[in-house]
Amino acid sequence: MFNSAVDNVHDVKTLAELAQHVDGRVEGNAELRISSVATLEDARKGAITFVASSRYCQFLPNTLASAVILGETEVELCPVSAIVVDNPYLAYAKIASLLYPCLHPGGFIHSTAVIAASANISDSAFIAQNVVIGEQVEIAAGVAIGPGSVISDHCNIGKNTSLLANVTLCTGVTLGERVLVHPGAVIGADGFGIANDNGTWIKIPQLGSVRIGNDVEVGANTTIDRGALNDTIIEEGVKLDNLIQIAHNVEIGAHTVVAASVGIAGSTKIGRHCAFGGMVGIAGHIEIVDNVQVTGMSMVTKSIAKAGVYSSGIPLQGNLEWRKTAVLLKQLNHMQQRIKQLEKQAKGT
Amino acid sequence: MFNSAVDNVHDVKTLAELAQHVDGRVEGNAELRISSVATLEDARKGAITFVASSRYCQFLPNTLASAVILGETEVELCPVSAIVVDNPYLAYAKIASLLYPCLHPGGFIHSTAVIAASANISDSAFIAQNVVIGEQVEIAAGVAIGPGSVISDHCNIGKNTSLLANVTLCTGVTLGERVLVHPGAVIGADGFGIANDNGTWIKIPQLGSVRIGNDVEVGANTTIDRGALNDTIIEEGVKLDNLIQIAHNVEIGAHTVVAASVGIAGSTKIGRHCAFGGMVGIAGHIEIVDNVQVTGMSMVTKSIAKAGVYSSGIPLQGNLEWRKTAVLLKQLNHMQQRIKQLEKQAKGT
Amino acid sequence: MFNSAVDNVHDVKTLAELAQHVDGRVEGNAELRISSVATLEDARKGAITFVASSRYCQFLPNTLASAVILGETEVELCPVSAIVVDNPYLAYAKIASLLYPCLHPGGFIHSTAVIAASANISDSAFIAQNVVIGEQVEIAAGVAIGPGSVISDHCNIGKNTSLLANVTLCTGVTLGERVLVHPGAVIGADGFGIANDNGTWIKIPQLGSVRIGNDVEVGANTTIDRGALNDTIIEEGVKLDNLIQIAHNVEIGAHTVVAASVGIAGSTKIGRHCAFGGMVGIAGHIEIVDNVQVTGMSMVTKSIAKAGVYSSGIPLQGNLEWRKTAVLLKQLNHMQQRIKQLEKQAKGT
């Protein structure tokens, strides 16, 4: 079996090699051998750790790590060797990926996989147990398909893309290179297209598909629907968390990130480099420009034409106070009229 | 493999045949042969398109489609042949379904399917790879079960119903005819029934099941729990989008539509012909009458006794403004008292 | 196949035996044989029912049940034999579990299961069709793994734990004893860890795992992510409903219950004996003490330091009224300034 981060096979590097990988400067022993990563509190000999935020500085003086990734300002607090960089969190991400490469034993098709005769599968692909692959599917070099996944007819999966367990791709879905799809995700199910016929609902065939760019990540149990006529499009570098709903014909621009449980309704176009907090709801048929951030649980009902940070939602109160708030919310109109009346009277005085 | 809309095998019809199918009038060449549907902008020779809303009229004069489905008012703008109807969107739905029939090669059981000896499966059913079918399951004519689906003991599946990939039906679930269940949906998992025993929680066996009527659609990764004692009931013609939670003993009336990521808590009864926007939350043990519409992200905490459109939720603001709003929301009570005080003073004057 | 409550094989007990099981007192015929449970309205001969709330008392005088579980105050209204207890709902839970035990035919591995050579599986475990079990997995006595489930390398599953159909455990997940995981749940997928590198996002390997205590229940299609470095932790007795998102490094204290469609962001620590209503959103990196209750759809953005009941959210209005409310919500700041101005004037008078 394979996983996105194999936790018991990892590389050993010197501190100098790691520093070079992240354009950092070594303070201390450049020949130290580093074989793992850990938190400031848990790191022991052989491990490198990091200080990504000043609130963790308190743990730095007592760390038992072999080395620490940190910024210029933390160097003097550090009791051990260090890699000094501008952005310790980013450097940590790169070093952890180097030490814990995501590997699978390529060139393997499990005997229980059921593969259509017309499918075209690279010799270096890894196909796990009970995978089902349909007609005329194209699977490129280095692809890994996890157990129980279903790849329907006419799908096209780019180089080094990984689907973990029990993933479903419906007909004609295209995934780019280095895409990572987590368990239970469903890509290409029918969009929710219905037309009313005197009170009953007639299904509208969903004839588009889904196109996903390079380096996209799709979270567990997330659903991305196929387009009604044209395709639903997720551009390169988009990162989607778990349990997200992306409706038909949505387009998400490159390098946008979406946290868990967000819902995006049909035909909405979202720009590049946006960020959406968890459980945000986004209405259909709207446009959101590049570089928009929306905080968690916000309700987005209209297009957003200007980059910036946006929010909505009512903060938590004690239940008894909230009950009063809830009543008053319904009386806002009345409250405003009373103010108007007072203003009239005051003017009259 | 099969899919809900097979995109490479479809029928060819004349414009006259299509018009007759939707009780429409042909303008232009009734003998035109139509083999596909497409948008106004993308349609080419052989394709029919449609104008469902006046905002798309701008694309009509330049369409390269062979024909257009439209209303009386758009006829004169149309540069090609047309089918004229009262409701172009509905006519499009019917024509698309006619041109792209949802077919599967019936009468087929894949060799990897694992089927209990006591299951009763129609000769015309289609059972895909790695399907598991339990004891005393009844599968009617024309049913299709997609790869990796699990049909537990005592389930009953009506004629021409389709389950796509990796669907799970738990024990004793009943599906009507022409039901369509998308990948990853789970029907009949235990309801969330627990009783508190001095701080720990005791599970209450969930002994009811789920009954789903004819022509229901269930979206990807949607969950419909079994009842505690009686059944959870979804009546005919209900359309459920993706990632919806329907708790135990909920009842949903015929022809109601529910958009994605809605949650409906236990024992709530919802009427017929209702419509719920995405991410609406509905409390348990309430009743909602027929013909109620609730807009997206609304919070429904009480029964709704009167048909109509209902809403809640705070619209989006810039983050800095919203921070002020959020503070003031907690001060509504204080604000009201200040108004009261001013009114008292004004009266005193 | 097996299910969490087998509905056609159940035990028969006398009323005396049932009463003893719940420390209750028999009123009437202690030798009555009880073989099923049902609602007050539906119960017939052989069935026991219960009165858990005064609103159901109206059905008591006409019940056709053989016996009723009830409190002292309902005894005189009861036309048939009874078990009298302090907490009828809890007693019902215990009696229903006794009559409908959750059984599976232990000591069985289906021929289609694919099991790694290094996996260690108890002789009394039940492994269903198409299950995939990875390297060095430990499966204890009495465990049941439902069809299509994938248990990745290095997982450890405690005694009498049940996974229903199509469950996915990613690498190194640990489940305690008597855990119940419903279909489609994904435990141990990568947390959503990314670092920004000049506008593109770099994945941070997720190297922790998930540890789940005894007697935990995990709902259908719920997702629990693995930790970034340390583990995500769900303590004993926690009950999670469907479609819940639990992000990396969340910790949930013992006996806390979480209703459906809740989202909990990364690194948040939740106390013991808490309760969260459906669709609550909880921000990351906060702490919530023991014995906190949060009502449905609330937005929790800050730590909660004091036990109690908390809420937020706007109640439903007719759509037209809500449109006014929505406008006024954005004018709260202006409204407050008008009050201030009036107060100034009033003072001046």
Contacts of C93 in chain B (CB under 8 A): 193-195, 197, 202-204
Residue C55's pLDDT band, with cuts at 50, 70 and 90, is: confident
The shortest C-alpha distance from B109 to chain A (Å) reads: 14
Instruction: Identify the pLDDT of residue C311.
Output: 97
Contacts of B129 in chain A (CB under 8 A): 114, 132
Tokens representing C291?
Answer: 């014995």
What is the rounded CA–CA span in Å between residue C317 and residue C325? Answer: 9
Mutation target for C interface from A179, A298, A316, A328: give the one with most C CBs within 10 A: A316
Tokens representing B13?
Answer: 């019809």
Query: Are the beta carbons of C260 and B265 separated by less than 8 Å?
Result: yes
**Residue bearing the bigger pLDDT, C9 or B283:** B283
Q: Which H helix or E strand runs over C325?
A: helix C319-329
pLDDT above 60: residue B173: yes
Q: Which H helix or E strand runs over A216?
A: none
What is the rounded CA–CA span in Å between residue A149 and residue A252? Answer: 25
Dihedral (CA of C19, C23, C26, C30) sign = positive
CB C120: neighbour CB atoms within 10 A?
12
Give CA separation, C91 vs A25, B249, C25, C70, C152, in Å: 67, 21, 12, 9, 39
DSSP string, B55-120: GGGGGGGG---SEEEE-GGGGGG-SSEEEE-S-HHHHHHHHHHHHS------SEE-TT-EE-TT-E
What is the rounded CA–CA span in Å between residue A233 and residue A272? Answer: 12
The shortest C-alpha distance from A70 to chain B (Å) reads: 31
pLDDT above 90: residue C152: yes
Give CA separation, C112 vs B161, C182, C211, in Å: 27, 21, 29
Contacts of B329 in chain A (CB under 8 A): 314-315, 325, 329
Minimum-distance CB partner of B311 among C221, C255, C319: C319
pLDDT per position as a tens digit, B73-107: 999 999 999 999 999 999 999 999 999 987 787 89
Give the mean model confidence (pLDDT) for residues B63-70: 96
DSSP string, C90-126: HHHHHHHHHHS------SEE-TT-EE-TT-EE-TT-E
The shortest C-alpha distance from B54 to chain A (Å) reads: 15
Give CA separation, C53 vs B237, C56, C60, in Å: 34, 6, 11
The CATH number assigned to the domain with range B13-99 reads 3.40.1390.10
Give the mean model confidence (pLDDT) for residues C174-188: 98
Minimum-distance CB partner of C223 among A112, A220, A343: A220
- With a CB cutoff of 8 Å and minimum separation 6, the contacts of A230 are A208, A249, B39, B42
Instruction: Identify the pLDDT of residue C334.
Output: 87
Minimum-distance CB partner of A316 among C203, C207, C299: C299
Dihedral (CA of A14, A17, A18, A20) sign = positive
Residue A3's pLDDT band, with cuts at 50, 70 and 90, is: low
Query: Are the beta carbons of A166 and C166 separated by less than 8 Å?
Result: yes
Q: Closest Cα partner for A330 from B316, C320, C335, B305?
A: C320
What is the rounded CA–CA span in Å between residue A40 and residue A64? Answer: 8
Task: Give the 3-state secondary structure of residue A44.
Answer: coil
Q: How far apart are the first and last CA of chain B?
A: 83
Instruction: Identify the pLDDT of residue B10.
Output: 64
Q: Which of A225-239, B129-143, B257-271, C95-109 has the lowest mean pLDDT?
A: C95-109
Give the mean model confidence (pLDDT) for residues C291-311: 98
Give the mean model confidence (pLDDT) for residues C126-150: 97
Burial of residue A160 (number of CB atoms within 10 Å: 0-12, 13-18, 19+): buried
Contacts of C339 in chain A (CB under 8 A): 339
CB A13: neighbour CB atoms within 10 A?
19
The shortest C-alpha distance from C209 to chain B (Å) reads: 24
pLDDT above 60: residue C129: yes
The shortest C-alpha distance from C6 to chain B (Å) reads: 8
Query: Are the beta carbons of A184 and C223 separated by less than 8 Å?
Result: yes
Query: Are the beta carbons of B201 and C255 separated by less than 8 Å?
Result: yes
Mean pLDDT estimate for chain A? 94
- CA angle A9/A39/C271 to nearest 5° reads 115
Chains in contact with C, counting 3 or more C-beta pairs less than 8 Å apart as contact: A, B
Mutation target for C interface from B131, B201, B243: give the one with most C CBs within 10 A: B201
Show which residues of A are catalytic: 248
Mutation target for C interface from B203, B294, B323: give the one with most C CBs within 10 A: B203
CB C76: neighbour CB atoms within 10 A?
7
Tokens representing C99?
Answer: 């009559």
Give CA separation, A301 vs A224, A244, A248, C281, in Å: 20, 18, 17, 19
Residue C72's pLDDT band, with cuts at 50, 70 and 90, is: very high
pLDDT above 80: residue B5: no
Mutation target for C interface from A9, A129, A180: give the one with most C CBs within 10 A: A129
What is the rounded CA–CA span in Å between residue C180 and residue C234? Answer: 13
Q: How much of chain C, in percent, has pLDDT values that exceed 90?
A: 86
Burial of residue A125 (number of CB atoms within 10 Å: 0-12, 13-18, 19+): buried
Assess whether the region A13-99 and the region A108-310 belong to the same CATH fold. Answer: no
Query: Are the beta carbons of B278 and A301 separated by less than 8 Å?
Result: no
Asked whether the beta carbons of A84 and A72 are under 8 A apart, the reply is yes
Query: Are the beta carbons of C186 and A220 separated by less than 8 Å?
Result: yes
Q: How much of chain C, in percent, has pLDDT values that exceed 70?
A: 97
**Residue bearing the bigger pLDDT, A191 or B53:** A191
Query: Are the beta carbons of C316 and B298 separated by less than 8 Å?
Result: yes
Q: Closest Cα partner for B229 from C82, C50, C57?
A: C50
Tokens representing A161?
Answer: 């893309």
The distance from CA A258 to its chain's CA centroid, rounded to whole angstroms, is: 6
The shortest C-alpha distance from C280 to chain B (Å) reads: 10
Place of tokens 């135990």: B248
Mean pLDDT estimate for chain C? 94
Minimum-distance CB partner of A190 among B42, B182, B215: B182
Query: Are the beta carbons of C205 and A128 separated by less than 8 Å?
Result: no
What is the rounded CA–CA span in Å between residue B50 and residue C187? Answer: 45
Instruction: Identify the pLDDT of residue A55.
Output: 81
Burial of residue C205 (number of CB atoms within 10 Å: 0-12, 13-18, 19+): buried
Asked whether the beta carbons of C50 and C38 are under 8 A apart, the reply is no
Asked whether the beta carbons of C278 and C295 are under 8 A apart, the reply is no
Up-side HSE of residue C172: CA atoms within 13 Å toward CB? Answer: 20
Tokens representing C284?
Answer: 């990351």
Contacts of C311 in chain A (CB under 8 A): 316-319, 322-323
pLDDT above 60: residue C6: no
Give CA separation, B298 vs A106, A175, A299, B312, C281, in Å: 49, 35, 10, 5, 15
Residue B9's pLDDT band, with cuts at 50, 70 and 90, is: low
Is this complex's ipTM strictly greater than 0.85?
yes
Query: Are the beta carbons of B310 and C326 separated by less than 8 Å?
Result: no
The shortest C-alpha distance from C156 to chain B (Å) reads: 23
The distance from CA B285 to its chain's CA centroid, rounded to whole angstroms, is: 23
pLDDT above 70: residue A165: yes
Instruction: Identify the pLDDT of residue A6.
Output: 47
Q: The whole model's pTM is what?
A: 0.96
Contacts of C202 in chain A (CB under 8 A): 90, 93-94, 97
Contacts of B207 in chain C (CB under 8 A): 5, 7, 37, 96, 100
pLDDT above 80: residue C5: no
Instruction: Identify the pLDDT of residue A5.
Output: 53
CB A303: neighbour CB atoms within 10 A?
13
Query: Are the beta carbons of C297 and B281 separated by less than 8 Å?
Result: yes
Instruction: Identify the pLDDT of residue B106.
Output: 85
Query: Among the options B104, B182, B248, B255, which is catalytic?
Result: B248
Q: Which residues pair with B181 in a beta bridge?
A: B163, B218
Instruction: Identify the pLDDT of residue B2.
Output: 57
Place of tokens 């051990």: A80
pLDDT above 70: residue B25: yes
Chains in contact with A, counting 3 or more C-beta pairs less than 8 Å apart as contact: B, C
Length of chain B: 349
Instruction: Identify the pLDDT of residue A2.
Output: 57
What is the rounded CA–CA span in Å between residue A298 and residue A349? Answer: 44
Size of interface B-C (CB pairs under 8 A): 243
Q: Closest Cα partner for A43 from A4, A98, A82, A91?
A: A82
Q: Which of A306-310, A334-338, B320-324, C207-211 has the lowest mean pLDDT?
A: A334-338
Query: Are the beta carbons of A190 and B39 separated by less than 8 Å?
Result: no
Mean pLDDT estimate for chain B? 94
CA-based R_g, chain B, Å: 26
pLDDT per position as a tens digit, A11-47: 799 999 999 999 999 999 999 999 999 999 999 999 9
DSSP string, A251-268: EE-TT-EE-TT-EE-TT-
pLDDT above 50: residue B6: no
Q: Which of A75-84, A164-173, C336-345 has the lowest mean pLDDT?
A: C336-345
Place of tokens 């009259």: A348
Query: Are the beta carbons of C39 and B294 separated by less than 8 Å?
Result: no
β C251-252/A33-34 pair status = unpaired
> What phi and psi, each to the nearest 5 degrees, are found at residue C97?
-65, -35
pLDDT per position as a tens digit, A67-104: 999 999 999 999 999 999 999 999 999 999 999 987 78
Asked whether the beta carbons of B37 and B49 are under 8 A apart, the reply is yes
Contacts of C112 in chain B (CB under 8 A): 112, 114
Query: Are the beta carbons of B184 and C184 separated by less than 8 Å?
Result: yes
The shortest C-alpha distance from C308 to chain B (Å) reads: 16
Length of chain A: 349
Q: Closest Cα partner for A145 from A175, A172, A171?
A: A175
The shortest C-alpha distance from C176 to chain B (Å) reads: 16
Burial of residue C109 (number of CB atoms within 10 Å: 0-12, 13-18, 19+): middle
Query: Are the beta carbons of C281 and A259 separated by less than 8 Å?
Result: no
Query: Are the beta carbons of A37 and C223 separated by less than 8 Å?
Result: no
- Say if domain C108-310 classifies as CATH 2.160.10.10: yes
Give the mean model confidence (pLDDT) for residues C295-324: 96
Q: Where are the domains of chain B?
A: 13-99, 108-310, 319-348
Mutation target for B interface from A110, A150, A206: give the one with most B CBs within 10 A: A150
Q: How much of chain A, in percent, has pLDDT values that exceed 90?
A: 86
What is the rounded CA–CA span in Å between residue A18 and residue A67? Answer: 11
Instruction: Identify the pLDDT of residue B1.
Output: 59
Minimum-distance CB partner of C273 among B195, B199, B230: B199
Tokens representing C73?
Answer: 């105050």
Query: Are the beta carbons of C148 and B134 separated by less than 8 Å?
Result: no
What is the rounded CA–CA span in Å between residue C55 and residue C70? Answer: 13
Beta strands in B120-238 (DSSP E): 120-121, 126-127, 132-133, 138-139, 144-145, 150-151, 156-157, 162-163, 168-169, 174-175, 180-181, 186-189, 194-197, 200-203, 210-212, 217-218, 223-225, 232-234
Contacts of A261 in chain C (CB under 8 A): 245, 261, 263, 281
Chain C's closest residue to B192, CA to CA, is C241
pLDDT above 80: residue C175: yes
Instruction: Identify the pLDDT of residue A242.
Output: 98
What is the rounded CA–CA span in Å between residue A157 and residue C56? Answer: 57
What is the rounded CA–CA span in Å between residue A290 and residue B117? Answer: 58
